Amino acid sequence: MTDLAGEVRRFNRFYTRAGGILGESLLGSDFSLTEARVLYELAQGGEISAVDLKERLNIDAGYLSRMLKQFERRGLIRREPAPADRRRAHVVLTGEGQAAFAALDRRSQQAAADLLQPLAPQDQARLVQAMVSIQQLLAPPGAARRPVMTLRPHRPGDMGWVIGRHGALYAQEYGWDETFEAFVAEIAARFIQQFDPVKERCWIAELAGERVGCIFLVKDSDAVAKLRMLLVDPAARGHGLGRTLVAECLAFARDAGYARVRLWTNDILHAARKLYVDAGFRLTETEHHRSFGQDLVGQTWELDL
The mean pLDDT value of the chain amounts to 87
At 83 the pLDDT is: 66
Amino acid at 179: T
Q: What is the pLDDT of residues 153-167, one digit of tens each?
A: 999 999 999 999 999
- Give yes or no for a contact between 90 and 29, defined as CB atoms under 8 angstroms apart: no
CA proximity to 205, closest of 151, 251, 249: 151
Model pLDDT for residues 10-48, shown as the tens digit of each residue: 888 888 777 766 666 666 777 888 888 888 888 876 668
Domains of the chain in start order, with CATH, are: 25-118 (1.10.10.10), 149-304 (3.40.630.30)
Helix (H, G, I), strand (E, B) or coil at 177: coil
Residue 293 pLDDT level (bands cut at 50, 70, 90):
very high
- Per-residue pLDDT averaged across 130-142, rounded? 77
102-111, 155-164, 241-250, 272-281: least confidently modelled range: 102-111
- The pLDDT assigned to 139 comes to 76
Neighbouring-strand partners of residue 206: 150, 211
